[in-house]
Amino acid sequence: MIDKIKLTGFFHLKRILVILFAFPFVAPGQDISQIWSLDACINYALQNNLKVQQYTLEKDQAQVNLINSQNLFLPTIEGRLRNIHNWGLFVDPTTNILTTRNSEIYTGSIEAEWTIFNGGLNYYSIKKNQELYNASASDLQAINNQVTLQIVASYYGVLLASEQKRIAEQQKIQVIQQYELAKGLVEKGIVHRRELLLLESQMTMQDVVIVSASNDYLRANLELRQAMGIRENKILKIDDALVSGIPDSLSLIDYDTLCSNAQFFLPEVNAAKYRVNARQYTLKQAQSYRYPSLVLETGVLTKSSSLIQTEQPIQFRQNLSEYISFNLRVPIFNRFQYQNNIDISQIDLRLRENELKQVNQEIEQKIQEAYLELSSSYKKYWALNKQAEALKAQYIFSEKSYTAGIISFTEFSYTSNLYLNSQLLLSRAKYDYFYKRKVLSYYEEQSHCSK
């Protein structure tokens, strides 16, 4: 019996990615009858993935925070109206006369306040929020890249399952042809009838292989739909034009150059760098509270009173007054709160710097793994390709020998099974190489669809 080749490793990674990033909501009824290219699958997933939408909202929130900090340089302007009813003994604010008569007073003002200097607090707030906005944009790019790699893995999974299903079906056709050939040999008395029984058994086992391969294809197609956010239970038609041959030689960027370049363009690294910069400005904000602050205040005020017989509009004009003031605030002692805030900011900065070092270390390790895995998958493919060619030649020779009645069907079946398994292994190695190539291309700052 031909054992089904289990799609481990590459498929395991793909399923983990599906669990992490799948299940965004898409309204039922989406037309999925088109032929889906890899780019189309990626674009659809990026538009509908909830993780991407979440990070987009966080980026928008960071942008609003940045605008708010920029607006701190603008003055604040307020208009005030006040109506006061007095009784008993009091000093009328309009006449400045002590009276016991009941009165009604109206006051109005337009006042403005503008911070001239506050130790650079507003400036550092802008710089901090700019860095946080950049970090959010990098986070969004990072999640886009993760979703893209997830779709690439699922897409190749469908292509792999489809190809293995096709190989199994072709093998079934070959078994049927062998069966028809054996019938003729049995009728001629060249081979025993048991050969037909063995072939019939072989065909039933081949049916099992086809069913298993078909189930793998349905499962891979389902995982791709889930990763894309498609809820319709329909099979996606995949464009296999992306598939190309494996190059004769493996061309790789120098490892040290690759690691060095990755530190500048990978969004994970940039996000960590931006957060370190933001914490540096947070520290400067904490230090700015030690400096004096200067605030300009100005306004126009007026008032009227019912104790005065003059008409109210006239009172408003007569009582009109203007003022301007400069308020200087000098911090002297506040129970060491400012120093404590500075100490906390310094610790937070060191934490972020350690996070940046950790991200760089993780990226370097991932590049090492991607570098090694691509090289290994390349060597494995060509080793399996050499094996498959040898087994193909052996299969052709065995087929001719069996037709001539030189060998038994059992011997021929053994060779046939070896050849089939070599095709399945070669197919899996091919798509494993394709995916590993895409992963390393990500660290090389290449497009996911580059061939």
Indicate the helix (H) or strand (E) that contains 91.
strand 90-91
Confidence label for 31 from pLDDT (cuts 50, 70 and 90):
low
At residue 191, the pLDDT reads 63
Count Cβ atoms within 10 A of the Cβ of residue 353 and give its class: 0-12 exposed, 13-18 middle, 19 or more buried.
middle
Task: For strands 237-238 and 35-36, give the pairing.
Answer: parallel
Q: Which residue has the higher pLDDT, 196 or 211?
A: 211
| Predicted local distance difference test score (pLDDT) of residue 446 | 57
- Note the pLDDT tens digit of each residue in 87-144: 878 787 777 888 888 888 889 999 999 999 999 999 999 999 999 999 999 999 999 9
Q: What is the pLDDT of residue 32?
A: 66
Query: Taking 60 as the threshold, does the pLDDT of residue 29 lie above it?
Result: no
pLDDT reported for residue 287: 95
CA–CA distance from 179 to each of 187, 189, 204, 209, 315 (Å)? 12, 15, 12, 18, 115
**Mean pLDDT of the 299-306 span:** 91
At residue 25, does pLDDT exceed 80?
no
| Structure confidence at residue 190 (pLDDT) | 64
Confidence of residue 263 (pLDDT cuts 50, 70, 90): confident
pLDDT tens digits for 394-403? 988 988 887 7
Q: In this model, does residue 186 exceed pLDDT 50?
A: yes
Could you please report the per-residue DSSP string of 256-269? HHHHHHHHHH-HHH
Q: What is the mean pLDDT of residues 208-230?
A: 92
User: By mean pLDDT, which of 120-129, 209-218, 309-318 is the weakest?
Assistant: 309-318
Would the pLDDT of 233 be above 90?
Answer: no
- pLDDT of 13: 44
406 CB burial (10 A radius; 0-12, 13-18, 19+):
exposed
- Please, what are the domains in the chain? 10-73+119-290+338-443 (1.20.1600.10)
Query: What pLDDT shows up at residue 148?
Result: 93
- Rounded to 5 degrees, what are φ and ψ at 46? -65, -30
For residues 152 and 260, which has the higher predicted lDDT (pLDDT)?
152
User: Is the confidence at residue 242, as pLDDT, over 70?
Assistant: no
| Mean of per-residue pLDDT scores for the chain | 85
Instruction: Give pLDDT, residue 134.
Output: 97
Question: How confident is the model over 420-439, as a mean pLDDT?
Answer: 91
CA 18 remoteness from chain centre: 12
Range 58-61, long-range pairs (CB < 8 A, 24+ positions): 58/136, 58/139, 58/140, 59/133, 59/136, 59/137, 59/139, 59/140, 61/136
Mean pLDDT of 176-203: 74
Q: What is the pLDDT of residue 9?
A: 46
Residue 243's pLDDT is what?
66
pTM: 0.80
Considering only 14-28, 180-194, 202-216, 257-271, which range has the smallest mean pLDDT?
Answer: 14-28
Residue 246: pLDDT above 90? Answer: no
pLDDT of residue 245: 77
Q: Tell the residue number behind the tokens 């390349």, with chain if given.
A: 378
